[in-house]
Amino acid sequence: MLLPEPRTRAGQAGLAALLADPARALVAVDFDGTLAPIVERPEDARPAPGAVDALRTLAGRVGVVAVVSARAATDVVALGGLDAVPGLWVLGHYGLERWLDGRLDSPEVSGAVGLARPLLAAIVAAAPDGVHLEDKHHSLVIHTRPAADGAAALSALTPGVRAVADEVGLEAVPGRLVIELRPRGIDKGTALYSLAVDRAAGAVVYVGDDLGDLPAFDAVDRLRGEGVAGLTVASVDPGVGDTPREPADRADLVLAGPVEVVGFLLDLAAAIGEP
């Protein structure tokens, strides 16, 4: 077992702080593209082999382990079999929802989402074959990956989707061949920062792969400024051609997709050792 060395001094300090005091550490990971390989249909996503065991092992050795996702918390739990990990926090809908040991805390759905739903449905109805709308209750996502030219379809649809967001008071957020409408001011950075403060974390690790994970990287930077050591990790699957470069450019450490992420989590647990 040999942990990869972060390429920045700040990342090296974050990893060292976690290993020195794991009981006060927070390790948070994204789901799609990080724990689970990217797939054409969101409902087909499953964790990479060994991911649940890695989370379970790590959860017994660090203070807090969390999965932070754009999906509904209960969907992530069901798709990933994450109820098999005692004490795991699942922050769904960018932190709007919190799930812990079977208990879900979730706010009322914004009325703006209901206003946007038929407007987006009309946009999708006129879009190229394969483009579809995913209704996540707290947010709405247009997927263009199944289209013949997903990138071109996304580019063509984006102005209209942004206009809908402005009209109803939502935020339009791009991702990997998706664009999502969600309540303003909600992101993974807010979710990560809040959990770190709530749990009095002494070190924070965040692993993500997409544009939606950049606010969590920002949160790690903010925590560093407040004296909390941190490590940012990018999951970059070489087999997926539409991976955005920004997470890799920003991260202290880059791993080659979910398989390497699982290996990193297992190696991290082994480096900490038995509690």
Q: Give 192's pLDDT tier (boundaries 50, 70, 90).
A: very high
Q: Is the pLDDT of residue 85 over 90?
A: yes
Question: Which pLDDT tens digit goes with each residue over 121-147?
Answer: 999 999 999 999 998 888 899 999 899
Q: Which CATH architecture has domain 9-105+186-272?
A: 3-Layer(aba) Sandwich (3.40)
Mean pLDDT of 57-73: 95
User: Which residues of the chain form beta strands (DSSP E)?
Assistant: 25-29, 64-68, 89-92, 97-100, 103-105, 132-135, 140-143, 171-175, 178-182, 203-208, 229-235, 253-255
pLDDT on residue 6: 98
Q: Please tell me the distance from the alpha carbon of residue 23 to that of residue 13, in angstroms, as a whole number.
A: 16
The two structure tokens encoding residue 12: 């090296």
Q: Is the pLDDT of residue 1 over 70?
A: no
Its CATH class, for the domain covering 111-182, is alpha beta
Q: Is the pLDDT of residue 175 over 90?
A: no
Q: Give 194's pLDDT tier (boundaries 50, 70, 90).
A: very high
Q: Give 240's pLDDT tier (boundaries 50, 70, 90).
A: confident
Residue 197 CA neighbour count, 13 Å, CB half: 10
What single-letter DSSP state applies at residue 179?
E
Pairing outcome for strands 97-100 and 89-92: antiparallel
What residue ranges do the domains of the chain occupy? 9-105+186-272, 111-182
Question: Which pLDDT tens digit goes with each residue over 8-24?
Answer: 999 999 999 999 999 99
Looking at the chain, the whole-number percentage of residues with pLDDT higher than 90 is 81
Q: Is the pLDDT of residue 241 over 80?
A: no
The two structure tokens encoding residue 67: 């999965």
What are residue 133's DSSP bridge partners? 142
pLDDT on residue 218: 98
Mean pLDDT of 260-273: 96
Residue 1 Cα distances to 4, 5, 29, 265, angstroms: 10, 13, 21, 11
* Helix, strand, coil fractions of the chain, as percent rounded to 5: 45, 20, 35
Mean pLDDT of 33-54: 92
Evaluate whether 72 touches 105 at the Cβ level (below 8 Å): no
Question: Which pLDDT tens digit goes with each residue over 180-189?
Answer: 998 988 899 9
Q: Please tell me the distance from the alpha carbon of residue 260 to that of residue 239, in angstroms, as a whole number.
A: 13
Residues with active-site annotation: 30
Q: Please tell me the distance from the alpha carbon of residue 91 to that of residue 99, in angstroms, as a whole number.
A: 6
Q: Please tell me the distance from the alpha carbon of residue 65 to that of residue 58, in angstroms, as a whole number.
A: 7
Q: Is 34 helix (H, G, I), strand (E, B) or coil?
A: coil
